[in-house]
Structure 1
């Protein structure tokens, strides 16, 4: 019985760590285009583990928005899916666009 409990606990811990490692991560940002000047706020999914602000996240967002002709001004925050729905309305057409 003891081996069964230990096995069950081990499997549970592995499942929890696997689900947290694959959790989605998002960044919200501000970008611009020149001639004429246009600004936008957007949300993009990023591959960041742990899900936190880093130079790699900023570079990834800059590269992705640049593909659409935009220049990244600032990555405002990095967050998991719990903060995603609250930012959807503000991002409008730039919600998960890039």
Structure 2
């Protein structure tokens, strides 16, 4: 009698296990960078939350695209980090803290 239910129960158990095993949200990833505008020369330091990966290469691509919309050119990505290193950067980044 219970043998007929064993296959569907196994499928349900596997589905529940897979659903619980997948993370609800990936760890937050941030990067800090330096950028410039010409005529007149302006520089800024900023901090961004990254959406498309947590590497220096993906950060360069993502930040360049975001800041270019306002005429900024990325000079360099200083570091990529998680939320534990986010505190203390707001004062340095000022208006460019999580702006882009």
Structure-2-length-normalised TM-score: 0.73
Equivalent residues of 2:52, 2:62 under 8 A apart: no
Structure 1: 5+ residue stretches without partners: 1-6
After superposition, residues 17-56 of structure 1 pair within 5 angstroms as 18=23, 22-49=26-53, 51-53=54-56, 55-56=57-58
Larger fraction in helix:
1
Structure-1-length-normalised TM-score: 0.75
Task: Determine the structure 1 residue equivalent to 2:96.
Answer: 94
Task: Determine the structure 2 residue equivalent to 1:4.
Answer: none
C-alpha RMSD of the superposition: 2.0
Task: Determine the structure 1 residue equivalent to 2:9.
Answer: none
* Deviations 1:23-80, CA, capped at 9 Å, x for gaps: 110010000000000000000110244x332x22211111111111100000000000
Please list every run of at least 4 consecutive aligned residues from structure 1 whose deviation after the TM superposition is greater than 4 angstroms.
none
Structure 2: 5+ residue stretches without partners: 1-12
Aligned residues: 84
